Amino acid sequence: MRRAVKIKAELLTLIKNNGSFLIVSHFNPDGDAVGSSIALAMGLKKLGKKVHIANRDKVPDALAFLPSSGLVGREAPEGVVDVLCVVDCNTMERTGLKNLKASKTIVMDHHIMPDNAGELWDNDTLNHSIIDPGISATGEIVFSILSELGVVIDKDMAVNLYTALLYDTGGFRYANTTPESLSVASRLVAAGAEPWRITKELYESVPYNAMKLLAAAYKTIEKDGKMAWMTVTKEMLAETGTTAEHTENFVDYPRKIKGVEVAVFFREEADDLCKVSLRSKGGINVQKIAAIFGGGGHAPAAGCTVKGPLNEVTRRILDAVREALRKS
């Protein structure tokens, strides 16, 4: 079976020849960012390196179960490190961190590079970085780097990397799930990652008040033709004692309805402001719809923040979705 990711010899040499490392990732870190950062740190420590992890934001509660999650600090260490590893992120801007001092920089990422990549990174950095949007998760890159370096993946590293893979492939469900993702997953389970334990932490640990919020939100689901939508009001959050972060992925629920091509989730932020998430199951590019309202994203998943009361925003967005469906 072929290796998940081809690792450049220059990158391996750089790691072997240096002693101190700082690992950073994007702010608001997700499972791939946190899991990849921790696994990389654990692997480098096994090789006798001095390693720090810094993130602008704290590890989300849902990921606190990750072994060694305490390694993720909020600030960079003083002084100059040998190598800065920018993980699951490909611009310094996305790290939210400033004035990091390092002799060399490696980027390990699977997001699409911005057009001005040449201005953001020097040639030396680009030469030994791994940036490949064809890879489903940064965890696969870290797995391959550590394997090439001869690091034996132990159970704690496997749990971190398995979580990284699960997170970015939607539990091996999204279109980015490749033979390599599943092959790496297979080896991580062999190394001690337990799918059911990780599943319980990631998908079966919904706080009771968040479940009550979801119950209220389910009642709002409506469907019209090939679009369906769900709404959460300020009142629903207040009544259940929940916050906006509990609504993450709520847009997935209306998407599950048979025959639905576009799903929308509306969250009332204030009397005059709504957050809108859009998902497409296939043919419709929802990034184009979000762009009309000043938002952004990708063809299958986009979002925007729209001024106006909930009922008016709902009407305007649904009109735009209806128009996109009509034209398709």
Residue ranges binding a copy of itself (CB under 8 A): 1, 169-175, 177-183, 185-187, 189-190, 194-196, 199-200, 203-208, 211-212, 214-215, 218-219, 221, 223, 228, 255-259, 281
Q: How far apart are CA 130 and CA 113, in angstroms?
A: 11
The three-class DSSP label of residue 227 is: strand
Q: What minimum distance in Å lies between the beta carbon of 2 and a copy of itself?
A: 10
> What is the Cα 190 distance to its own chain's centre?
25
Q: What minimum distance in Å lies between the beta carbon of 203 and a copy of itself?
A: 7
Q: What minimum distance in Å lies between the beta carbon of 192 and a copy of itself?
A: 10
Which CB atom, from 219 or from 327, has the smaller least distance to a copy of itself?
219
Q: What minimum distance in Å lies between the beta carbon of 259 and a copy of itself?
A: 8
> CA of 310: how far to CAs of 27, 215, 239, 273, in Å?
29, 20, 18, 7
- Tell which residue, 67, 68, 55, 49, has the closest CA to residue 23: 55
- Supply 140's token pair: 């696969």
Which CB atom, from 47 or from 257, has the smaller least distance to a copy of itself?
257
Q: What minimum distance in Å lies between the beta carbon of 235 and a copy of itself?
A: 16
Q: How far apart are CA 232 and CA 244, in angstroms?
A: 9
Contact predicate 324/278, CB 8 Å: no
Which CB atom, from 98 or from 173, has the smaller least distance to a copy of itself?
173
Amino acid identity of 175?
A
Which CB atom, from 45 or from 223, has the smaller least distance to a copy of itself?
223
Q: What minimum distance in Å lies between the beta carbon of 166 and a copy of itself?
A: 9
Which CB atom, from 119 or from 208, has the smaller least distance to a copy of itself?
208
Query: Edge to edge, what strands does the sheet with 227-232 contain?
Result: 222-224, 227-232, 262-270, 273-280, 301-307, 296-297
Which CB atom, from 33 or from 228, has the smaller least distance to a copy of itself?
228
The three-class DSSP label of residue 44 is: helix
